[in-house]
């Protein structure tokens, strides 16, 4: 379900719908990391799920700063190894992306965050999560291309 929701999210054209699908995906992924015993990652992804929902319903900049502060507090409290910096990087970039109005900028920043998660998942030994993030990156690229084509005048494609 996390996989399907994430793939569907990247095929959405409007940011609120995209963020709501990411909320479902992130909530389920947080559970995945908790089962693996990767509690720092589970906390970051759980916070990410809440952030996606808040950004979809109330995309105010003050919420962005609140989630950046919470992510920073979480890394300070939970840091146990350099691997923990990868979810933090994904959280910071994803937080900034979630509160952008331009859908293309949201997509670009989410790609950076997903790349950080690919590296994290490789390092913690979660091949399924690696494949899922790579699929998300691919879906993001397809969604980006579809959005670009839709926004171009008819003579340009």
State residue 33's pLDDT score: 80
The maximal CA–CA distance of the chain, rounded, in angstroms, is 55
Domain locations along the chain: 2-151
Is the separation of the CB atoms in 5 and 25 below 8 Å?
yes
State residue 44's pLDDT score: 84
CA 106 to chain centre: 10
Rg (CA), the chain: 15
Geometric angle at alpha carbon 83, from 81 and 84, rounded to 5°: 75
- What is the torsional sign of CA 109, 138, 86, 76? positive
Is the separation of the CB atoms in 1 and 131 below 8 Å?
no
State residue 96's pLDDT score: 96
Mean pLDDT by groups of 10 residues along the chain of 157 residues: 82 87 92 85 89 94 96 92 92 93 90 94 89 90 86 61
Entry pTM: 0.82
Report residue 147 as tokens: 């959005």
State residue 39's pLDDT score: 84
Is the separation of the CB atoms in 10 and 143 below 8 Å?
yes
Report residue 101 as tokens: 């109005």
What is the SS3 assignment for 37?
A: coil
């Amino acid at each position: 379900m996390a996989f399907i929701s994430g793939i569907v999210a990247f095929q959405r054209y409007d940011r609120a719908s995209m963020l709501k699908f990411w909320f479902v995906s992130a909530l389920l992924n947080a559970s995945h990391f908790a089962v693996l015993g990767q509690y720092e990652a589970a906390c970051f992804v759980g916070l990410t799920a809440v952030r996606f929902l808040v950004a979809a319903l109330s995309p105010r900049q003050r919420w962005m700063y609140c989630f950046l502060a919470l992510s920073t507090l979480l890394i300070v409290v939970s840091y146990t190894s350099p691997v923990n910096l990868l979810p933090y990087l994904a959280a910071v970039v994803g937080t900034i992306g979630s509160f952008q109005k331009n859908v293309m900028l949201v997509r670009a920043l989410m790609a950076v965050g997903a790349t950080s998660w690919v590296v994290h998942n490789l390092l913690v030994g979660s091949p399924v999560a690696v494949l899922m993030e790579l699929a998300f990156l691919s879906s993001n690229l397809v969604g980006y291309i579809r959005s670009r084509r839709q926004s171009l005048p008819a003579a340009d494609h």
